[in-house]
């Protein structure tokens, strides 16, 4: 007898779901109309789509009546949230000014660097002009002897030709070095079945490859050590265990793939959990996830934080207004 009464009081005291998110959900009539319009294009998948839609409908109905899990926010946390929301304008203005000052400093540095380069080019150009003028004066002084002047011209032309050849070779070497950097060993992207995890891993490999090209040699070694990349630019391979009952040490690519799969699985769970939650509950959950990521999730510090938050922020149910009306009538 006591359990139904307790359940009714829990429904009456539970937080109310966000009305905007409830109104944004598709109604049953809209889903049926969309399903009928897709029958001609996907006749073979109609049965599966209907079953999935029915399952989703039952899940949404159960979540709206029974409620979805959320954390109970204490009064101190609500006061801190209100204070943070009130100070957002001040923080945003100070951040905007700091970013503006940083951009101005960067533009000033670029302008100073451009001026230095232009001054260097002007100095080099003036030195070359002085060399040409001194060479012309020496040629005019020896114009009385035609044979001597011809020999001087014949000697100076090979010198200038050799200088031009040296400049051409230097530019070719710089270009070759640039091409070598651009064509540095990239992380191999395995060709397999297309899924969200592989797509994310492929994009990550491309970003890591681009980042490695911009690093110095000393920075590159530390970067590769942190990401588990060998000197050839490939992910480190796993080591097989000598014992038959043990799997051994997995490679860096497999480890990153497992972490991405874990993130996608947890994201799907949180999206389902926070489907009807208010923005305050959603922000609190995202903040806790962010702190867990910073602490390492599987580290002792992360476990202590998870236990502490479970004590400070008890779980409750987020229900709709219709569920509250139904509980009040009961």
- The CA distance from 73 to 289, in Å, is 16
Q: Are residues 279 and 310 in the same domain?
A: yes
**Which carries the bigger pLDDT value, residue 157 or residue 254?**
254
Q: For residue 275, how many other CB atoms are within 10 A of its CB?
A: 19
Q: Mean pLDDT over residues 254-282, rounded? A: 84
**Which carries the bigger pLDDT value, residue 330 or residue 20?**
330
- By the 8 A CB rule, do 224 and 211 touch? no
Q: Are residues 29 and 125 in the same domain?
A: no
Q: Is the pLDDT of residue 221 over 80?
A: yes
30 within some domain: yes
Give this prediction's pTM.
0.47
Instruction: Name the CA radius of gyration of the chain, rounded.
Output: 35
- By the 8 A CB rule, do 42 and 298 touch? no
Task: Name the burial class of residue 216, with classes exposed (0-12), middle (13-18) and buried (19+) by CB atoms within 10 angstroms of its CB.
Answer: exposed
**Which carries the bigger pLDDT value, residue 54 or residue 156?**
54
Percent of all residues in the chain with a pLDDT value above 90, rounded to a whole number: 3
161 within some domain: yes
The total domain count for the chain is 3
Q: What is the pLDDT of residues 100-157, one digit of tens each?
A: 888 888 888 887 878 787 787 777 767 666 666 666 555 555 555 545 444 444 444 4
Q: Are residues 162 and 266 in the same domain?
A: no
Q: Are residues 102 and 178 in the same domain?
A: yes
- The CA distance from 144 to 52, in Å, is 103
Q: Are residues 308 and 323 in the same domain?
A: no
48 within some domain: yes
Q: Is the pLDDT of residue 324 over 50?
A: yes
191 within some domain: no
287 within some domain: yes
Q: What is the pLDDT of residues 275-310, one digit of tens each?
A: 777 788 888 888 888 999 899 888 999 999 989 888
Q: Are residues 223 and 168 in the same domain?
A: no
Structure tokens at 200: 């994310």
Full domain range(s) for residue 156: 94-182
- The CA distance from 279 to 85, in Å, is 12
């Amino acid at each position: 007898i006591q359990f139904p009464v307790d359940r009714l009081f829990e429904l009456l005291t539970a937080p109310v779901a966000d009305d905007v998110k409830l109104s944004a959900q598709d109604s049953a009539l809209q889903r049926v109309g969309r399903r009928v319009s897709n029958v001609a294009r996907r006749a073979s998948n109609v049965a599966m789509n209907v079953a999935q839609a029915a399952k989703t409908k039952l899940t949404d109905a159960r979540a709206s009546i029974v409620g979805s899990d959320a954390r109970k926010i204490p009064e101190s946390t609500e006061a801190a949230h209100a204070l943070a929301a009130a100070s957002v304008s001040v923080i945003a203005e100070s951040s905007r000014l700091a970013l503006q000052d940083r951009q101005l400093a960067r533009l000033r540095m670029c302008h100073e660097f451009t001026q230095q380069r232009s001054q260097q080019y002007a100095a080099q150009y003036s030195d070359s002009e002085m060399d040409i003028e001194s060479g012309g004066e020496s040629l005019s002084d020896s114009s009385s002897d035609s044979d001597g002047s011809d020999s001087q011209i014949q000697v100076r032309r090979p010198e200038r030709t050799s200088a031009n050849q040296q400049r051409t070779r230097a530019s070719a070497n710089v270009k070759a070095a640039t091409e070598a950097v651009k064509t540095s060993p990239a992380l191999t992207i395995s060709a397999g079945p297309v899924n969200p995890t592989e797509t994310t891993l492929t994009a990550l490999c491309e970003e890591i490859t681009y980042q490695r090209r911009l690093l110095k040699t000393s920075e590159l070694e530390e970067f590769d050590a942190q990401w588990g990349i060998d000197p050839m630019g490939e992910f480190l391979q796993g080591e097989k265990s000598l014992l038959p009952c043990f799997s051994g040490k997995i490679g860096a690519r497999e480890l990153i793939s497992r972490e991405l799969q874990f993130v996608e699985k947890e994201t799907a769970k949180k999206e389902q959990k926070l489907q009807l939650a208010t923005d305050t509950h959603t922000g609190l959950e995202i903040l806790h996830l962010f702190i867990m990521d910073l602490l390492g999730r599987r580290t002792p510090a992360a476990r202590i934080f998870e236990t502490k938050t479970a004590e400070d922020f008890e779980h409750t149910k987020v229900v709709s207004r219709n569920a509250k009306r139904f509980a009040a009538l009961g």
